[in-house]
Structure 1
Amino acid sequence: MTPLSISRAWEETTTFVARETRLIVPLALALIALPAVIFGLAAPDVTNEVAARSPGLMALMLAEFLIGAVGQLAIARLALGHRERLGEAIRHGAARLPALVGGFLVVGLPLGFVLTLVVGAAAVVGKAGAGAGKAGAALILLAVMTALFVAMLIIFARCLLMLPLASVEAGGPLRLIKRSFAVSRGAVLRLLAAAALFLVGGVVILIAVRSVVGALVIVALGKPEAWTVSALLIALVDGAMQALIGTVFTIFTARLYAQRSGEAGPETGVPSSAT
């Protein structure tokens, strides 16, 4: 299997973005930025925990995730050289969404269950009295948590290419998982490094921009409340940044997948005239 080159994937990403700006910007704005703006306007500064207790906000959050995933599937497909109109790419992304979500659920639910058990065990150990028994239990629990953390990192790396894979390959959730593990074999550390550099950098930029804009908006218009101008301005910035980071990361992972699978190179990408 072709060795993974992060620098090559990044060069192909920047080339594709520069060449196909008119093609990917409408996708990113309509399917990634707009849902994020709507959620931010309806629920500024609402945490996931608070949203989980509100059926309406939870529905908005789920819709934002699903619509954004369709957009990312369409963008990945275009970045892998499939010559088709935007509408066709979006329809294909919507058709592949159930398989992608199913694949992540098959992997994520068991991990979430194990994590819940470990957190519960940690709470029990924390409430136990002092003594050698508690110290021994704490050491065992620490070892289990460390092993679980390492396992989660490895599984994350092995599933990192599942989205671009789902955008161009057929099959249900189990086949996606199998193929994702196959194309990531022998490249776990490189995939983890690429994801860490990209995601950490993106989060830092997002927080920095939001902090500056948020401070200016609060000074000018007051604290953002749902459906207010201040909430709209902050949501617009958040949506634009999420679209930018999400789009570039999607194209980047698509080009990583292309190296491992032999998919179309950047020279076969969709021409800018496609609509």
Structure 2
Amino acid sequence: MTTMSIGKAWEEAVAFVAREASLLFPVALLFVALPGLILQEMTPPELAAWFADPKADTIPAMPPGFAVAMLLTIILIWFGSLALFALALRPGISVGEALRLSFARLPVLIGTALVIAGALVVAVTMAILLGVVLSLASKPLGATMGLLLGFGGAILVFFASVRFVLLNPVVIDGRTGVVESLRAAWQLTRGHFWRLLGFLFLVMILSAIASAAAQAVVGVLGGLVAGPEGARLAGSIAGALVSTVIQVYMLVMLARLYRQAVAA
């Protein structure tokens, strides 16, 4: 099996982004950064506080309008991500063509998400039923098994998220349906789990540090000009912009890794 080269993917991504920045960044800003920023501004304070420090016993009520806005934001970001992958995988394609292709393949991506979510719901339901049955026999046994099942479920979700990391390029680059796309994405990452995990971990750390630094610096400047509210808004915008830049490079790198996996 050919080993994925993160270094080669990085070199190709840097060259591609430098060449096609005028196509990539407007799409990323309009369909990835802007929807996320708008949703962030719409988030009720108590819900934002819970997202920062989630506790199972103090889940705040989610306004119906916010739930709809969150769903639309997710779909818009998926749409933008597919368009970015189309631009990265098909050199010479126009932005209009990439957006049309993304719109055509978006139902498949939504279908894969529903299948994965359905599988998780079934697994969680079975785990809860097993925990209830064991609790009827022995409460300590049921509690222990509940902790083990919860830990195992978290590991399973984490593992699946890495194995399906090439799902978006599979969907946008092919003509297959939901099940075939899931199968292809799973096959392409076989034997590359740890390499992909390391790559995603580095991107996550880099994005968190860079976004936090930009948010802090620009937030201070915004506070000097427009007070606390200006500091918060300026910091949020700066953090979103930096995060979007890093995400563009990550998506282009994933496109190059996808090409390596297909060639192998």
Q: Report the CA distance shift for 1:147/1:41 in structure 2 as closer, same or farther (over 3 A).
A: closer
| Pair 1:110 & 2:119 matched | yes
Among residues 150, 159, 174, which one is paired with 2:179 in the alignment?
174
Among residues 63, 86, 103, which one is paired with 1:77 in the alignment?
86
Match of 1:14 in 2: 14
| Residue pair 2:223, 2:231 contacting (<8 A) in 1 also | yes
User: Structure 2 counterpart of 1:77, which letter?
Assistant: A
Match of 2:66 in 1: 57
Match of 2:215 in 1: 210
Match of 1:270 in 2: none
Among residues 67, 72, 97, which one is paired with 1:88 in the alignment?
97
Q: Report the CA distance shift for 1:257/1:232 in structure 2 as closer, same or farther (over 3 A).
A: same
What's the CA shift for 1:187? 1.3
| Residue pair 1:72, 1:246 contacting (<8 A) in 2 also | no
What's the CA shift for 1:188? 1.6
Q: Secondary structure at the match of 1:83?
A: coil
Q: In 1, Cα distance between the equivalents of 2:231 and 2:250? A: 29
What's the CA shift for 1:11? 1.7
What's the CA shift for 1:170? 1.2
Q: In 1, Cα distance between the equivalents of 2:88 and 2:206? A: 22
What's the CA shift for 1:13? 1.4
What's the CA shift for 1:183? 0.8
Q: Report the CA distance shift for 1:104/1:51 in structure 2 as closer, same or farther (over 3 A).
A: farther
User: Structure 1 counterpart of 2:2, which letter?
Assistant: T
Q: Secondary structure at the match of 1:171?
A: coil
Q: Deviating runs (4+, > 6 A) in structure 1?
A: 49-52, 119-125
Q: Compare relative contact order (CA 8 Å, sep 6+) and give the higher one, 1 or 2.
A: 1
- The TM-score, its normalising length taken from structure 1, stands at 0.78
Q: Report the CA distance shift for 1:207/1:231 in structure 2 as closer, same or farther (over 3 A).
A: closer
| Pair 1:39 & 2:23 matched | no
Q: How many residues are aligned here?
A: 254
Q: In 1, Cα distance between the equivalents of 2:168 and 2:60? A: 26
Q: In 2, Cα distance between the equivalents of 1:82 and 1:138? A: 55
Q: Report the CA distance shift for 1:91/1:149 in structure 2 as closer, same or farther (over 3 A).
A: same
Match of 1:148 in 2: 153
Q: In 1, Cα distance between the equivalents of 2:240 and 2:176? A: 32
Name the one with the larger helix percent. 2
| Residue pair 2:109, 2:171 contacting (<8 A) in 1 also | yes
Q: In 2, Cα distance between the equivalents of 1:204 and 1:120? A: 41
Q: Report the CA distance shift for 1:85/1:114 in structure 2 as closer, same or farther (over 3 A).
A: same
Match of 2:205 in 1: 200
| Pair 1:25 & 2:25 matched | yes
What's the CA shift for 1:37? 3.1
- What per-residue deviation string (whole Å, max 9, x for no partner) do you get for residues 121-149 of structure 1? 88999xx9xxxx55544443343334323
Q: Report the CA distance shift for 1:88/1:218 in structure 2 as closer, same or farther (over 3 A).
A: same
- What per-residue deviation string (whole Å, max 9, x for no partner) do you get for residues 101-129 of structure 1? 2112211333255447758988999xx9x
- The TM-score, its normalising length taken from structure 2, stands at 0.80
Q: In 2, Cα distance between the equivalents of 1:119 and 1:197? A: 34
Q: Report the CA distance shift for 1:59/1:231 in structure 2 as closer, same or farther (over 3 A).
A: farther
Q: In 2, Cα distance between the equivalents of 1:55 and 1:208? A: 34
Match of 1:250 in 2: 251
Which consecutive unaligned segments of at least 5 residues does structure 2 have? none
| Residue pair 1:206, 1:241 contacting (<8 A) in 2 also | yes
What's the CA shift for 1:163? 0.8
User: Structure 1 counterpart of 2:88, which letter?
Assistant: A
Q: In 1, Cα distance between the equivalents of 2:156 and 2:172? A: 26
Q: In 1, Cα distance between the equivalents of 2:236 and 2:44? A: 8
The Cα RMSD (Å) is 3.3
Q: In 1, Cα distance between the equivalents of 2:186 and 2:170? A: 11
What's the CA shift for 1:178? 0.8
Q: Secondary structure at the match of 1:20?
A: helix
Q: Secondary structure at the match of 1:170?
A: coil
